[in-house]
Amino acid sequence: MERLAQISSQTTGSIAAPPRPVHPLDPLSIEEISAITAVVKNHFAGRQISFNTVTLREPTKKAFLEWKEQGGAFPPRNAYYVILEAGVPGVKEGIVSVNHLSVIEVKSLEQVQPILTVEDLISTEDIIRKDPRVIEQCVISGIPANEMHKVYCDPWTIGFDERWGAGRRLQQALMYYRSDEDDSQYSHPLDFCPIVDTEEKKVIFIDVPNRRRKVSKHKHSNFNPKDMIEKYGTLRTDGKPIDITQPEGVSFKMDGNVISWSNFNIHIGFNYREGIVLSDISYNDHGNVRPLFHRISLSEMIVPYGSPDFPHQRKHALDIGEYGAGYMTNPLALGCDCKGVIHYLDAHFADRAGDPITVKHAVCIHEEDDGLLQKHSDFRDNFATSIVTRATKLIISQIFTAANYEYCIYWVFMQDGTIKLDVKLTGILNTYVLADGEESGPWGTKVYPGVNAHNHQHLFALRLHPRIDGDGNSVCTSDACSAEAPVGSPENMYGNGFYAKRTVFKTVADSETNYESSTGRTWDFFNPKKLNPYSGKPVSYKLVSAQCPPLLAKPGALVYKRAPWANTTIKVVPFKEDRLYPSGDHVP
């Protein structure tokens, strides 16, 4: 990998300085994006570049905390960019100083491929429809050549295929047929897979299976309301409306991107890749502002599929690093995606040309009733002495579409101090065609005539940077264990002793641990220097992550190499600036 580091002192007088944001972690504004891409274009003047990524390079933790906690200066405002240059393999990435409107870092990286943008994905469908060899394969599949407008593809990054290595920006096109543009294509998968070079804009190969399977002749299995009415005669009418009323408005306060709610204080950021990023989370404990987390985000995910048959072994989506939970985020609609009194935040990115694009209402912030928070009654007076407190929860959410799936991401804050990440998976299964009379075999399930849904997992990397009552936190496993001492021994005479066994991690290797159902294992993040006044034990947050088998692919499998983090429930590593992504910076 060639690495060129260069500092430019070139400033660009003609570019208007964008207004300074209120908070150092605020995402780049539209004005900032325009200024940054203009600076980059000037820097690379005369070369044919296109933008892949323009995003905030967050200030260092040190600079941020000096500003936040010690009255220091507003940290330098920097942006990270990734560009492609026509005819030049790999990417260029670097840093723009927004304060000085100049490029302050450029690196050329060969043998890496950047994230796919929505523009990249859309271009693939045009390319395959026009390719004569793809048309030929469609005809073999039973689709007339004049119906190419009914042929669709979900373009996935190729990940890695030894035939081409890492030097080209390749997509594998998972193929489908729609008889009508409103059809669900997933009930009509095709059996072959074109490989497309995104930058050369051409099909370079087609993977054709030995056993050919024609496109299904069954009616499409559709999901639009009109299709439901056609199938069932009516939409369901048995659900009566539930109205949410908040006559006095919400209990949270927004100050730009900073929310305060029920003693929590949180900065809400958003980027092309992780989507929502929550930073500088603290809790006001009767006037004592206690830091909890420096930064939390969903930093990666993987959806490995379980069919070893070629070319399905390539099917494993690192949807955050390969496509971006930000780039694929949906504009949210009141009454549909969220109900009640909503505060929305928009998201801004740069398109290939460097122009700002906006997703309206990308982040939804609202409250929901959460049942009981606390109750206690006194049995002595027939439960007449009773206190009941209702709970409200705060939800910061987004929804992104990863081709066939929707991931609904809910960051939930509760009044008992719990911070919870709920991920609701919806959308449609990814499918492959079955020939007439063919069974799905062990690697999938027949979900419709002619349709095989391959086995798969959804694994998420939750990145947590705890600062429980300040820095210097430690982590341990906490296992519910029977007392070691035998029954009849002085320490455990009656054999009923049990306790929470805490095992503190001393090395990274120690920390690579899995959920253990027999002990109901959890993990404690704790501050060894801050003790609870009653228990005398360190103050802590407990991580609960259960019921999730780790990666099922075997060690040595490609997915195992690409998502090493997915093999254990938790891994604790020392903090390093800009080490944000556990599958690497340029995942495709």
Give contact residues for ligand ABN (rule: CB under 6 A).
Answer: 121, 154-156, 317, 319, 323, 402-403
Q: How far apart are CB 328 and ligand ABN at their closest, in Å?
A: 6
Beta partners for residue 97, in sequence order: 78, 102
Which one of the listed residues 405, 471, 479, 510 is annotated catalytic? Answer: 405
Q: How far apart are CB 196 and ligand ABN at their closest, in Å?
A: 12
160: left (phi over 0), alpha (psi -120 to 50) or beta: beta
Q: Tell me if residue 538 falls in helix, strand or coil.
A: strand
Q: How far apart are CB 118 and ligand ABN at their closest, in Å?
A: 8
DSSP-derived secondary structure letter, 556:
T
The verdict on whether 319 is a catalytic residue reads yes
Q: How far apart are CB 154 and ligand ABN at their closest, in Å?
A: 5
For residue 52, the surrounding DSSP H or E stretch is strand 49-57
Distance separating alpha carbons of residues 499 and 489, to the nearest angstrom: 16
Residues in the chain: 588
CB-nearer residue toward ligand ABN: 357 or 500: 357
- CB contact burial 343-378 (16+ within 10 A = b; e otherwise): bebebbbbbeebebbebebbbbbbbbebeeeeeeee
CB-nearer residue toward ligand ABN: 259 or 317: 317
Q: How far apart are CB 557 and ligand ABN at their closest, in Å?
A: 18
Tell me the CA end-to-end span of the chain in Å, nearest whole number.
15
Which one of the listed residues 26, 161, 183, 319 is annotated catalytic? Answer: 319
Q: How far apart are CB 402 and ligand ABN at their closest, in Å?
A: 4
CB-nearer residue toward ligand ABN: 121 or 128: 121
CB-nearer residue toward ligand ABN: 94 or 304: 304
CB-nearer residue toward ligand ABN: 206 or 429: 429
Q: How far apart are CB 137 and ligand ABN at their closest, in Å?
A: 20
Contacts 24+ apart (CB under 8 A), 175-183: 175/128, 175/151, 176/151, 176/152, 177/141, 177/143, 177/150, 177/151, 177/152, 177/215, 178/150, 178/152, 178/220, 179/150, 179/220, 180/220, 181/150, 182/222, 182/224, 182/226, 182/227, 183/220, 183/222
Name which of 134, 128, 138 is nearest 177 in CA terms: 138
Q: What's phi and psi for 118, nearest 5 deg? A: -60, -35
The verdict on whether 405 is a catalytic residue reads yes
CB-nearer residue toward ligand ABN: 156 or 565: 156
State both tokens at 470: 């300040």
Q: Is 195 exposed, middle or buried (0-12, 13-18, 19+ CB in 10 A)?
A: buried
Q: Where are the alpha helices (DSSP H) in 335-482?
A: none
Kindly calculate the radius of gyration of the chain based on its CA atoms and give it in whole angstroms: 27
DSSP-derived secondary structure letter, 18:
P
Q: How far apart are CB 323 and ligand ABN at their closest, in Å?
A: 4
> For residues 175 and 136, is the Cβ–Cβ distance under 8 A?
no
Q: How far apart are CB 351 and ligand ABN at their closest, in Å?
A: 17
How many other CB atoms are there within 10 angstroms of residue 210's CB atom?
A: 5
CB-nearer residue toward ligand ABN: 36 or 128: 128
Distance separating alpha carbons of residues 305 and 552, to the nearest angstrom: 10
Q: What's phi and psi for 340, nearest 5 deg? A: 105, -160
CB-nearer residue toward ligand ABN: 83 or 121: 121
> For residues 308 and 443, is the Cβ–Cβ distance under 8 A?
yes
Distance separating alpha carbons of residues 277 and 325, to the nearest angstrom: 11
Q: What's phi and psi for 202, nearest 5 deg? A: -150, 155
CB-nearer residue toward ligand ABN: 122 or 493: 122
CB-nearer residue toward ligand ABN: 56 or 347: 347
> For residues 276 and 329, is the Cβ–Cβ distance under 8 A?
no
Name which of 257, 321, 299 is nearest 82 in CA terms: 321
Q: How far apart are CB 379 and ligand ABN at their closest, in Å?
A: 55
Catalytic residue IDs: 319, 405
